[in-house]
Structure formats: structure tokens, C-alpha cells
Amino acid sequence: MEKVPVIIDCDPGHDDMVALVLALGSQRLDVKAITNVAGNKVMEKVVKNTLNILNYCGAECIVAPGASRPIVRAYTRTDSEGCHGVSGLDGFDFPRDNPLKPSDRKAVEVMAEILRSSKEKVVLIGTGPLTNLGLLIRTFPELCEEKVRGISLMGGTCHFILTRPFMEFNTYLDAEATKIVFESGLPITMYGYDVTYRTLFGQDFLDSLKALGNRTGLMMSSLLQEFWNMHNRVWIDLGGCPVHDACAVAGIIDPSVVTKSERMYVEIPTEPGPLSGATICDYAHRSGKPENVEVVFEMDNEKFFRMILDSAGALA
């Protein structure tokens, strides 16, 4: 079966790490490039984390740094711990020496070149703020129209409220970029909190990662144990822990993993106020506005976590 060409734009991040392992270890995807965006942590840290993940898992891929701040609004993240720790990937000591280096070209340049040269349409997977994807769409609208098969993104929320109504980190941090993406007319599948907080891992999954008997599994189990601890401290203890970003990859590897989704109109307010950067989902279909997003609500959890184990087992 032909591999699906994808570009992953991310801000590792523990769950971005799972998304990268899932994609890089899958026989179904051809990861053409990994691009980084300032999100969980500043650009320097997310690039370093990306290269550490690749190096440790024995995977190779171009890594291109992108935007170091949102398109319009300020970059508001501090170096505080948050749920990814100070490094952005607390919980595992990667080897100090890493021979891998980032590209000297910027994310949008690399993305555009891949789109131009690809015979197949390419899937863009976003697991951080949508700054790079928004800039790509604004800079190369015709190229995106012709060569982007769709955008699979972790972001937003329809009903699930973690802290503030309709707010999710990736979509609010750069709300203007989110608005560009959601109004682009490109096919968008949104994996928001409604599905990611239904797709929690527990101790048995961590034990299964260790039981793989390879370094990738051991690295993942150590990082995810720490992520779980931090998530419980920063947010809420749900008896399990989400791996938000991996959901956006799983649906491209095997669409049958999605068991419930619905197409609807989603609006991104950007004017100042309590809803700036929210994902306002017209789930009652009353706006009269054209549906622009497939919102995912449920996945087959057993199949999802099996996919992650299979990919992790295929790496070093």
C-alpha cells in the first residue's frame, strides 16, 4: 500500500513525542519533514527536543525551525514548568551529545518545497500552535490548494472544558493563525479535548512500553510517567493521562480508529475578550454557516494504543 506523505509541525512536548514516534515507526506514513513551532516551549527547546527524540529512536528526518512567536499576538509562554517541565521533555535524560542538526532553512520554505516536488498530495499534521501552517497558507495559497490533501490537527474543543470554555492551548496561543487555517477551505480534521480526554493511557500502557524491550519503549515510558505526574499536578487527576497530539497522527495512519466524528462550522473569535482564540463549534448546526471542520469525538482506544506500541516497537 502506498505510504501517505505527511509533514508534522510540532512543539515537543511529551505528547508531540508520542505523535512523532507513532508517525516515524509507522509503515503507512512517509514523514517528509518535521517542522517546529514555538508553543509548549521556546523554539530553541522544541528543536532540541525534536532532535533528541529522532536521535534516540534511530530515526532520520529533516527538522526545520519555524516561527518563534505567533503571527500577531505576543508569545506568552514562560519557562515555568507547566505540564512538560522546564525542558519541555522532563522525565528522561537524553545523551548529551547529539550529532543531528536542524535545517538552515525555515519551516515554511521546507514545507513549500515538499509540496511543490511531491507527486502526491501531502497531509499536514499540526500538533502545536498553528503559526507555521497559517503562514504557509497565507504565503502559498495556490500551492496549498493544489497539493495539501488535508490538515489533521490536535487542537480546539467542542464540549470538553479543561479550564476556560472552548479554549485549548494550540488554538488560542496563535488565534489569528488558527483563524487562517480554519477559514482556508482546506479539509480539516480537528482532534480536540473532546476526543483526547477520552483517550487516556494508564499504568498498563506504560508497562507495555517497557515490555517492548527497546530503548524507544523505555524512553517513552519514562517520559510519559513524568508527564502523567505533571499533568495531575497542573490540571486534574482523571485516573489516566492524555496523549493529545498522537490522536492527530493515528487518524491518518488508520482512519478506522476514529469511531465518532461530525462535520460542523467552527468559528475562531480573535477580537479581544474572554473568547479570543476559542473554538466555537456549531454542533447544533444553527449558524447557517458552511461546515468547515470534521470534529472528532471518539476513537477506538485499544486500536489507538496498539498502534503506538507497534510504531514504538519498530524503532530503535
**Candidate segments 7-15, 220-228, 231-239, 256-264, binder of ligand RIB by CB under 6 A:** 7-15
Q: Is 159 a catalytic residue?
A: no
Please work out the total of residues on this chain that contact ligand RIB, with binding judged by CB under 6 A.
14
Q: Which of 14, 84, 231, 244 is catalytic?
A: 244
Q: Which of residues 4, 5, 8, 13 is near ligand RIB by CB under 6 A? A: 13
Does residue 9 bind ligand RIB (CB under 6 A)? no
* Residues in 284-313 that interact with ligand RIB by CB under 6 A: none
Residue 119 phi/psi, 5-degree rounding, is: -75, -35
What DSSP line would sit under 225-263, residue for residue? Answer: HHHHHHHHHHS---SSEE-TTHHHHHHHH-GGGEEEEEE
Q: Per-residue string for binding with ligand RIB, 227-266, x by CB under 6 A?
A: -----------------xx---------------------
> What count of other Cβ atoms lies within 10 Å of the Cβ of residue 216?
23
Residue 67, all three cell numbers = 516561527
Residue 197, all three cell numbers = 480526554
Does residue 156 bind ligand RIB (CB under 6 A)? no
Contact 157, 279 (CB under 8 A): yes
Q: How many residues does the chain have?
A: 316
For residue 74, the 8-state DSSP code is -
Torsion, CA 168, CA 179, CA 129, CA 3, rounded to 10: 110
Does residue 70 bind ligand RIB (CB under 6 A)? no
Terminal C-alpha separation, the chain: 24
Residue 41 or 147 with smaller CB distance to Ca ion: 41
Residue 21 or 264 with smaller CB distance to Ca ion: 21
Task: Give the separation between CA 53 and CA 30, rounded to whole angstroms.
Answer: 17
Residue 16 or 282 with smaller CB distance to ligand RIB: 16
Does residue 282 bind ligand RIB (CB under 6 A)? no
Residue 115 or 195 with smaller CB distance to ligand RIB: 195
Residue 165, all three cell numbers = 470554555
**Candidate segments 102-110, 140-148, 162-170, 277-285, binder of ligand RIB by CB under 6 A:** 162-170
Residue 198, all three cell numbers = 477520552
Q: Give the residues lining the site for Ca ion (CB under 5 A).
A: 11, 13, 16, 127-128, 245
Active-site residues, by number, are 244
Q: Give the residues lining the site for ligand RIB (CB under 6 A).
A: 11, 13, 15-16, 39-40, 127-128, 154, 168-170, 244-245
